[in-house]
Chain A
Amino acid sequence: MSTDKICVIIGASHAGVNLAFSLRKEGWEGAIHLFDSDPVLPYHRPPLSKAYLTSNDPIEQNALKAASTYKNEHIDLHLGVKVIAIDNTIRTVSLDNGTTQKYDNLVFATGASPIIPPIPGIETATNTYPLRTAADVLHIKNTINTSSKKRVVIIGAGYIGLETAASLKKLDASVTVLEREERILQRVTSPTMSQFFLDLHTSNDVSVFTSKNVVTIESLKENDIISNIVKCSDGTLYPADVIIVGVGVRVNTELAASIGVEIENGIKVTETTATNIDRVYAIGDCSFHHNPRYGRFIRLESVQNAVDQAKVTAAAICEKETKYDTVPWFWSDQYDIKLQMVGLSDGYDDIVIRHEEESESNNKFSVWYFKGSELLAVDAVNNAKAYVIGTKFIKKPTLIDKIKLGDSAIALKPANLLL
């Protein structure tokens, strides 16, 4: 393989970093330039709302790779540098430090940014943060540690909002979650799981309110301490020393759009992660890609998707036969609950809920989503066995006896569940 070729990767997080290392694994001998506007050595994002939020470990403990491994693999990592423009006719990116960098292959691993909804007062509200970066978490931790009342309002009950609620409880905060929809996790899971998580948070002393539309945030000064009053459309008021905004993300597509890359619900790519422009690719949270197993275009926000697409892009750039064809999986950790999800449940018409007999609490169960006889997805709560069996059944479509599946007296083993 030619050594004078250059691959430029915009975004050094799960997708971009994994791509850089996968390129070397695939035998790419050319230069690799990896840019990120975040100055911190690339880190795992999932712990930000989980263990990292409650521990005193330095962020380096969560690094995706050690600094030395970039050097060893001859990967040029440029941190704190933003790509501000691209000229694809001369194949060059411009950086905010005034320099430029040429490329042969260009990869968008630009991910997504938190949405800050246009609520009057949100821009000037004190101690109000999204939760996407290591810097966000440091702000949140510092504020909680120095606040005497530690009243937190989380706007948005998605996984990140709920994980943050669980973590902040550990820091002795009093936590209120405000969700605009009728149920929590509405966009991402079934009513069964929403109810489970609502009960879980309520029993852990988190106040969760649904159908709450935040209309203004006002500032309040008491004894020289400034806090916020979060006001909802139904007139309810919630005082907050800290506000965490977790209402979803906006895909970072502007740069790609500027050179004529096709954008739909993200950067549209083929099964080899290629865009409509020659030798320009997109991976991770920013990619709108086809999933062959489910037969439709999707955009995912998961580590699995970022890592697996990176491997495909590396192979494609090295001109090897490749295709992105995976069953999506995801996890979420809240309190002592480990949720593992595999597959995509959208479009299910039948559900089997299985509680394990040995479990004393109701906290070990699995939800199996079917369309007719076809298993689409499994949500497993404290039940890795269900997750693993579900993964196998989804990867290799199998006819499942739903009655046996739902019968906790029958051991959870693939052979016991066949029709």
Chain B
Amino acid sequence: MAKITFITPDNESVTLEATSGSVMELAVQNGVKGIDGDCGGVCSCATCHVHVAEKDFPLVGEPSEIEADMLELEDEVSEFSRLCCQIKVSDAIDGITLKVVEE
């Protein structure tokens, strides 16, 4: 079980719980604003971009090569950027905060 907090582009904070699936799926299933997931989670669209809170970044880890390349398409890319369809929900990421990046 993991609790994940999303800060949406209009600065709302939403905390959700899940045990499996990807963080993108969790966000879409709960209508978190700003996470579209247009490609369905296959790292092809970059519409699931989040900035991981700095303190939580080690829990989530670095993006894969393809994900890092796809992030280059985004204007607001930072060293804490991830495409959240590539983050699996697990106990290991319990308590993290993600800031949703608006397109």
Q: Which residues of A come within 8 Å of B, CB atoms?
A: 44, 46-47, 50-51, 61-66, 68-69, 72, 303-304, 307, 331, 333, 338, 340, 382, 384-385, 387-388, 391-392
Contact = CB atoms under 8 A, between A and B. Distances in A.
Nearest to B66: A384
A388 B39 contact: no
B38 A66 contact: no
5 smallest CB-CB distances across A and B, nearest first, come from A69-B31, A384-B69, A44-B40, A331-B44, A384-B66
B24 to A, nearest CB: 12
A384 B70 contact: yes
A382 B66 CA distance: 8
B11 interface: no
Nearest to B69: A384
Contacts, number: 57
A388 B44 contact: no
A391 B39 contact: no
B69 A385 contact: yes
Contacts of A50: 42
Contacts of B44: 331, 338, 340
Contacts of A61: 21, 25
A393 to B, nearest CB: 13
Nearest to B29: A66
Contact of B40 (A46, A72, A340): A46
B84 to A, nearest CB: 16
Given A47-B40, A307-B38, A391 B28 contact: no
Interface residues of B, number: 21
B49 to A, nearest CB: 14
A44 B45 CA distance: 13
Contacts of B70: 384, 387-388
15 contacts: A46-B40, A46-B42, A47-B42, A63-B29, A66-B28, A66-B31, A69-B31, A304-B38, A338-B43, A338-B44, A340-B44, A384-B43, A384-B65, A388-B70, A392-B73
A392 B25 CA distance: 28
Contacts of A47: 40, 42
A207 to B, nearest CB: 27
Nearest to B33: A25
Contacts of B29: 63, 66
Contacts of A303: 38-39, 45
Interface string B1-31: 0000000000000000000010001001111
Given A61-B25, A391-B73, A331 B42 contact: yes
B54 interface: no
